[in-house]
Amino acid sequence: MLPLLLVALAPFWMSLFALGDEMNFPQPEFTSKYTFPLTTVPVPTSEIREWIDVAILLVVLSLASWLAVKKRSRRGLFWVMIFSLLYFGFIKQGCVCPIGSIQNVALGIFDTNYAVPITVTIFFVLPLLFALLFGRVFCASVCALGAIQDLVVVKPIQLPKKLTMALSMIPYVYIGTSILFAATGTGFIICRYDPFIGFFRLNGNSPYLYLGAGFLLTGMFIARPYCRFFCPYGVLLGVMSRFSWKHLTITPSECIDCRLCEVSCPFDYISKPNTGLKREDRHMGVRRLSYLFLMMPVIIALGGWIGHRMSVPMSRYNNTVYLAEQVVAEKLNPNLEETLETKTYRAMGLSESDLMAGAEKVRRQMNFGGWILGGFLGFVFSLKLIGLSVTRTQKDYEVIKPSCFSCGRCCSYCPSDEMHRPNFIPGSKPYIEALSLKDPNAGKEGQLAEKKEGKSEPAKV
């Protein structure tokens, strides 16, 4: 609000200058050694540098796709991830990133006065295009936010399925809210609440640094918590990856059911075979599915109503609505102390009717958007329930394409891949983990036996 205050006091400064001429005040001599602090916002990037960033993004995405789909190399993906963390994270200071570009695109669609830079549009579209072709290779080793979390995974645990399903709704709430806020000119909440931007810029407000530190500490045991349960861009990547042309697979040939991939994935994004399992009665499954389809309109309507009710508190995050409500509150209560915003507003001499009209327009937009957002979340929730009720016959271990980060961990654990055969020497960690999956005591016995025998040939699990 400081620029508005300076504009409001412009006549005052002009009058001072005029008096200075009449009274012949000498010009002040500043001898202070004060230096202005560095800003926390990166300096604007030149157009040439923006296109260089686009070229680097294209090269890194292409390399990650080749390493994930063709070479199946976890080591190669890891080093690409380190480069992306250094360049897109610390050198570029996390700006511009495809995750935050969601808001630029949304604002450009709903506000005709805002033109989205072509480079920002490319940053938004390019990872989605690669996800449609090769899966979520952007998440594998290009995203700086994912990279910084991937480095701290120490002892990951598997969360209960029900809890994972509940948490998986958060990214849909986040992306819907961020689009609504951007479309109404309320703000760019993805950038504002980015948990790692303070680390990339080596400064920042304490609450956001604590938030990022909390994510990293949690990530030591719950792998990539922000990517899995908060990232709004992951929603779009997941949709594209579901229909990907070629996707990273666990095994390049026939699955031998060794179960090694179970311990390799810290995200629990591997679907297990279900042949031979007892199935429920077909009529019961059809009946439940019918009920879910009938309930879908009710769930969507209920979600829309909740979004409508939430539109009032959400609209107060808009500066125009906040100022209008503050002005009204001060008029109703003369004893209420004026805020800096209301003082600046009154000093500018703007029309109160225009302010109230602008606030009412934002409220109407937020109310309509609340209905849409709530209905969208109800629709997503209904689809998730239907997805849990539908099963297909699966013979092999397979990655869950919409969720899989294509990180390549499962590739290095697959004994069917000749490239990774050295990982399966008896007594090695993957070998012992495979035995312990089938029998907890077998792993210890196998380790002792292999130490005694001193074998070095690849084992068949």
pLDDT in tens, 250-302: 877 777 777 777 778 899 898 888 776 677 777 888 888 999 999 999 999 99
Instruction: Indicate the pTM of the whole model.
Output: 0.83
Confidence check: pLDDT of 2 > 90: no
Q: How far is CA 295 from CA 60, 281, 291, 301, 382, in A?
A: 45, 22, 6, 10, 8
pLDDT in tens, 45-77: 678 999 999 999 999 999 999 999 999 888 999
Q: Write the Ramachandran bin of 401: left for phi over 0, alpha for psi from -120 to 50, otherwise beta.
A: alpha
Hunting for tokens 């861009």 — which residue is that?
A: 233
Confidence check: pLDDT of 456 > 60: no
Confidence check: pLDDT of 450 > 60: no
Radius of gyration of the chain (CA): 28
Residue 324's SS3 state is: helix
Q: How far is CA 256 from CA 265, 273, 457, in A?
A: 18, 12, 18
Q: Please tell me the total number of residues recorded for the chain in this structure.
A: 461
pLDDT in tens, 81-134: 999 999 999 999 988 899 999 999 999 999 989 999 999 999 999 999 999 999
Q: Where are the domains of the chain?
A: 47-271+397-414, 283-389, 425-461
Query: Nearest CA to 432 among 421, 423, 443, 424?
Result: 443
